[in-house]
């Protein structure tokens, strides 16, 4: 099953379905158990959780690219700066520190009154459960690099089913704090087992996990260039996809623009996860073709990924136009409405996003972080400017103006990423 791209794509898509159900269930449940003002604070917490998760600066992508080269037979590079087992422990330490910093900031926000809630323990537990996606991501990327995609997806499907059941149980009377605490425990068990699989497959010892000096020196010596580009790209990506939560909150107290953006964010996340699932199913073949300098096969695989991504976006846009108004009303408990013009703009942005996703996932797996950074800057600038431009040029229709400028930014970024993929194929031909 691991060797079949079709089976791997199917199980990844099944997992994506569970992740999407969980994401929508979070909104469905919490918008019903929290007052509207607290729910807006909850959305800010979710956005900060996304910032924290993204603050790993693409290190998991770097280790995937390095470990993949190592696993495909370039192990002789290890002494010349290639992958070393000690890197895993250093990266886990770094991710642990990120989580600790995030929790500290949340606690300060509670004490200073920046984040208002009558249920701080619930918010803190939810934030911790979101932060567990950091070690989960490292486990996923490490297993994928060593031909363990199917193993991870099976484990993650199990985790998602358990967390969805626990989440929906809140509506049946289960204490929300107990529900989130149990979700936290289930995730820790699955992630721990996955890390154990990585440990055994790589032939690691306990000493490798705690060799922080040797591993840290190797990371400092051989990662800095990639880390610099990856970190800058990741920061740019974080701002592009999450900053509107905060800029909208600063611009207006009206809940509708925030709910509109949250709806777009959920649709974008759904599409990006579908595209990621199909691209990741093809990555074993794409990386083999790239490192083997098989240009014809590389072009075929990238074009196939683009066609599938665009197909997902077209189908998703069609469904959105047909059911978007009903879904929006149902999701947000009829606290706001969305019109067809808003849905059309969201659909255009999703079409553009499909091209961006293929480019980011493929080139990230190949370690082309410097190139991705250059392509990310226009998206970074455009998303930051969308809110002030809407306020300045379309103050009477601020919510529509924001979506208009945001969608235009995505279309421009898609053109740049399309050119980037073409250049990648040309590089393959030159090789």
pLDDT at position 309 is: 94
Band the pLDDT of 303: cuts 50, 70, 90: very high
Rounded Cα distance, 167 and 152, in Å: 22
* Residue 292: CB atoms within 10 Å: 12
Contact 281, 8 (CB under 8 A): yes
427 CB-near residues (< 8 Å, 6+ apart): none
For the ranges 32-46, 171-185, 364-378, the one whose mean pLDDT is highest = 171-185
H/E element, 222: helix 212-251
Summarize the confidence of residues 294-312 as an average pLDDT: 90
* Average pLDDT of every residue of the chain: 85
Instruction: Report DSSP letters for 371-404, one per residue.
Output: HHHHHHHHHHHHHHHHHHHHHHH-GGGHHHHHHH
pLDDT at position 81 is: 59
Summarize the confidence of residues 399-411 as an average pLDDT: 92
* Residue 363: CB atoms within 10 Å: 22
Band the pLDDT of 429: cuts 50, 70, 90: very low
What's this model's pTM, rounded to 2 decimal places?
0.68
For the ranges 68-72, 339-343, 369-373, the one whose mean pLDDT is highest = 339-343
SS3 for 119-181, per residue?
CHHHHHHHHHHHHCHHHHHHHHHHHHHCCCHHHHHHHHHHHHHHHHHHHHHHHHCCCHHHHHH
For the ranges 108-122, 305-319, 375-389, the one whose mean pLDDT is highest = 305-319
Give whole-number Cα distances, 72 to 68, 75, 147, 199, 265, in Å: 6, 8, 10, 18, 36
pLDDT at position 404 is: 93
Model confidence pLDDT, tens digit, residues 243-287: 888 888 888 888 788 888 888 988 998 899 889 888 888 888 888
Summarize the confidence of residues 377-394 as an average pLDDT: 89
- Report, in angstroms and rounded to the nearest whole number, the Rg of the chain calculated over CA atoms: 21
Model confidence pLDDT, tens digit, residues 14-70: 888 888 888 888 888 988 888 888 888 888 888 788 777 766 666 777 778 778 877
What percent of the chain stands above pLDDT 70?
Answer: 92
Band the pLDDT of 318: cuts 50, 70, 90: very high
pLDDT at position 177 is: 93
Q: Does the pLDDT of residue 118 top 50, yes or no?
A: yes
Q: Does the pLDDT of residue 78 top 50, yes or no?
A: no
pLDDT at position 227 is: 67
Give whole-number Cα distances, 10 to 99, 147, 168, 274, in Å: 32, 16, 25, 10
Band the pLDDT of 166: cuts 50, 70, 90: very high
| Longest CA span, the chain | 63
Q: Does the pLDDT of residue 79 top 70, yes or no?
A: no
Summarize the confidence of residues 402-414 as an average pLDDT: 93
Rounded Cα distance, 383 and 276, in Å: 22
pLDDT at position 89 is: 86
Model confidence pLDDT, tens digit, residues 197-226: 989 988 888 888 888 887 777 777 766 666
Rounded Cα distance, 142 and 60, in Å: 8
What burial class does residue 183 get, using C-beta atoms within 10 Å of its C-beta: 0-12 exposed, 13-18 middle, 19+ buried? buried
């Amino acid at each position: 099953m691991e060797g079949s791209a079709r089976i791997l794509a199917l199980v990844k898509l099944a997992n994506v379905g569970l992740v999407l159900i969980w994401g929508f269930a979070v909104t469905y449940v919490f918008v019903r158990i929290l007052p509207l003002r607290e729910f807006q604070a909850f959305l800010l917490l979710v956005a900060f959780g996304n910032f924290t998760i993204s603050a790993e600066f693409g290190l998991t992508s770097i280790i995937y690219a390095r470990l993949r080269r190592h696993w495909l037979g370039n192990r002789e590079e290890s002494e010349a700066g290639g992958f070393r087992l000690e890197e895993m422990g250093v990266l886990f330490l770094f991710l642990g520190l990120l989580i600790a910093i995030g929790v500290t900031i949340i606690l300060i926000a509670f004490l200073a009154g920046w984040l208002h809630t009558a249920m701080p323990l619930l918010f803190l537990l939810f934030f911790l459960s979101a932060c567990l996606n950091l070690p989960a991501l490292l486990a996923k990327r490490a297993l994928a690099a060593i031909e363990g995609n199917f193993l991870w997806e099976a484990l993650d499907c199990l985790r998602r089913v358990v967390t969805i059941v626990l989440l929906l149980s809140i509506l049946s009377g289960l204490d929300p704090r107990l529900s989130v605490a149990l979700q936290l425990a289930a995730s820790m068990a699955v992630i721990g087992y996955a890390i154990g699989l990585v440990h055994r497959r790589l032939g690691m010892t306990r000493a490798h996990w705690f060799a922080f000096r040797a591993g840290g020196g190797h990371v400092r010596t051989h990662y800095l260039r990639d880390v610099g580009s990856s970190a800058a790209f990741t920061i740019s990506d974080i701002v592009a996809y999450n900053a509107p939560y905060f800029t909208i909150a600063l611009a207006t107290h009206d809940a509708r623009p925030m709910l509109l953006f949250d709806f777009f964010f959920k649709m974008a996340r759904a599409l990006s996860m579908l595209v990621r699932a199909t691209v990741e199913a093809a990555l074993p073949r794409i990386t083999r073709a790239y490192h083997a300098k098989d240009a014809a096969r590389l072009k075929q695989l990238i074009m196939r990924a683009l066609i599938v991504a665009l197909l997902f976006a077209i189908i998703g846009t069609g469904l959105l136009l047909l059911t978007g108004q009903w879904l929006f009303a149902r999701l947000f408990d009829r606290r706001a409405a969305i019109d067809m013009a808003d849905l059309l703009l969201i659909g255009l942005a999703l079409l553009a996003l499909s091209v961006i996703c293929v480019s980011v996932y493929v080139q990230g797996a190949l370690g082309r972080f410097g190139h991705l950074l250059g392509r990310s800057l226009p998206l970074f600038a455009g998303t930051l400017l969308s809110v002030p431009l809407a306020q300045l040029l379309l103050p009477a229709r601020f919510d529509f103006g924001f979506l208009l400028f945001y969608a235009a930014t995505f279309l421009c970024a898609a053109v740049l990423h399309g050119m980037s993929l073409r250049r990648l194929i040309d590089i393959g031909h030159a090789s």
